[in-house]
Amino acid sequence: MVGKSPDQNQTSFMAAGLLEQLNPKHPLHLLANQIPWDAFEEEFATLYSHTGQPGKPIRLMVGILILKQMDNLSDERVVEKWVENPYYQHFCGEREFQWKFPCDPSDLVHFRNRIGIKGMEWIFTISIAMHQEEALEKEIVVDTTVQEKNITYPTDTKLHARIIEKCVGIAQGAGVPLRRSYARTVKKLQMAQRFRRSPKTQKKAIKAARQLKTIAGRLVRELERKLNKDQQEKFAKKLGLFQRVLQQQRSDKNKVYSLHEPDVSCISKGKLHKKHEFGSKVSVAMTKTSGIIVGALSFKGNPYDGHTLPEVLDQVRRFRGELPKIAICDRGYRGRAKIGETEILIPKPPKKDATAHEKQKMRRRFRRRAAIEPIIGHLKSDHRMGRNFLKGVTGDEVNVLLAAAAFNFKKAMRALALFFVWIRMLVFGRVLPLVGSPMAQAGS
């Protein structure tokens, strides 16, 4: 059952309202007044039953999700900060200052699962619509990056030790006696992996790694023999994953790098400081001039950049209502000159008969293409796309959409704050020229 948001027109005589205490020019206050919260209420109300205990208000849950991504907070931390910050409470629709947690952090997990990918796309669509005509530019810039998963750096030794631990846990849960648990042996073999590159301990470490793999295979086979039919069906997926890890070779494709995140891919982007990244490939599309993100899509595996363009352009069309005329990409998208009605531009030597004006125009376009790189950096460092803590392929898509939406909301918030600063300076007759303009340079 849908929870009701506080009545915005009703005040209490027992306590002063938040509106009377907050700064009306605060950026978060301005943003809260501009977001069409009714659109979320109408879209997500159909996901609730008409009977049962009322859930948390939709505005509260959506607001907390947006604040979490905007300020790069965990589920636990955003709930704690919500109690401390009155602007957070006003953003989520509260009329009076609250002294208790708005929800349990696990409620955010359930709400993300309730609205799903379509709900996240709707939040992202609203963040684009807030920029109005600026989001409808005819030219966009597209690039790919890697969203790393929250896993340890994968090695065969770590995976085999983890298989042993999982097998012992399965046996204890199913009441199956094992000949040995190998607890002490595994600990000694893991200790032998230290200083593996040293000539003195290299042979010992390699031998210990082989023993770990042997023990892991032995326990998997023992479980397959001793589990009954019902238990085998219950743990078939896990045991099959263990067998896949034990059989994979160094040169294999589609390898397993984590037992709890088997869909993680190893992606190389040519970085000198980080040759391999373990996660999912993400494509980001932004408007060329205004820098608004109009497309954010996560892909399973490591597809070629050029093959991701049709899906990205289709997503941009769904969110904006129209296709861009030009998509500016880097050389990683070679091989595609046009997709549907969209022309794909890639840096290349100019034609011999090109005029100076055409050369300069293309040069400006490709210089502007580089502006997407710092935006990707902000998505990673400021909006939780640097390391994804959400589970599975669905978690990858959810995190990307929320990060892009948070970027757009924060961009709108800054624009609103600057607009009101400009209005105040205009009223008091203190409008200053823009930095970098001829007037500012002459005054300095």
Decide if 61 contacts 107 (C-beta within 8 A).
yes
> What pLDDT, in 10s, does the model give residues 384-439?
999 999 999 999 999 999 999 999 999 999 998 887 666 666 666 655 444 443 33
Give the per-residue pLDDT at 257: 96
In-domain check, residue 407: no
Give the per-residue pLDDT at 428: 61
Residue 272's domain is classified under what CATH number? 3.30.420
Give the per-residue pLDDT at 434: 42
* 417 to 131, 157, 289: CA distances (angstroms): 14, 53, 20
Q: Tell me: do 270 and 383 sit in the same domain.
A: yes
Beta-strand relationship, 338-339 and 387-388: unpaired
CA–CA gap between residue 297 and residue 284 (Å, rounded)? 7
Q: Tell me: do 197 and 320 sit in the same domain.
A: no
Note down the domain range covering 168.
Answer: 156-247
In-domain check, residue 328: yes
Q: Tell me: do 291 and 380 sit in the same domain.
A: yes
Give the per-residue pLDDT at 58: 95
Q: Tell me: do 34 and 161 sit in the same domain.
A: no
Contacts for 136 with CB less than 8 Å, ≥ 6 apart: 320, 322
In-domain check, residue 429: no
Q: Tell me: do 147 and 269 sit in the same domain.
A: yes
| Domain final position from 351, 367, 389 | 389
Report field, pTM of the whole predicted structure over 0.95: no
Instruction: Name residue 415's amino acid.
Output: A
CA–CA gap between residue 234 and residue 231 (Å, rounded)? 5
Q: Tell me: do 142 and 277 sit in the same domain.
A: yes
* 111 to 52, 76, 106, 386: CA distances (angstroms): 17, 15, 9, 23
Give the per-residue pLDDT at 54: 86
* Number of domains making up the chain: 3
Q: Which of helix, strand or coil describes residue 1? A: coil
Check the CA dihedral 80-84-90-96 and report its sign.
positive
In-domain check, residue 276: yes
Q: Tell me: do 296 and 147 sit in the same domain.
A: yes
Closest by alpha carbon to 185, among 165, 155, 159, 206? 165
In-domain check, residue 237: yes
Residues in the chain where the model's pLDDT stays below 70:
7-16, 420-444
Residue linked to tokens 């042993």: 164
Q: Tell me: do 184 and 289 sit in the same domain.
A: no
Give the per-residue pLDDT at 202: 93
In-domain check, residue 131: no
Closest by alpha carbon to 25, among 366, 422, 438? 422
Q: Tell me: do 144 and 275 sit in the same domain.
A: yes
Q: Tell me: do 228 and 297 sit in the same domain.
A: no
Give the per-residue pLDDT at 441: 40
> What pLDDT, in 10s, does the model give residues 297-315?
999 989 999 999 999 999 9
Q: Tell me: do 221 and 115 sit in the same domain.
A: no
Give the per-residue pLDDT at 414: 92
Q: Tell me: do 142 and 285 sit in the same domain.
A: yes
Decide if 58 contacts 3 (C-beta within 8 A).
yes
CB count in 10 Å sphere of residue 323: 16
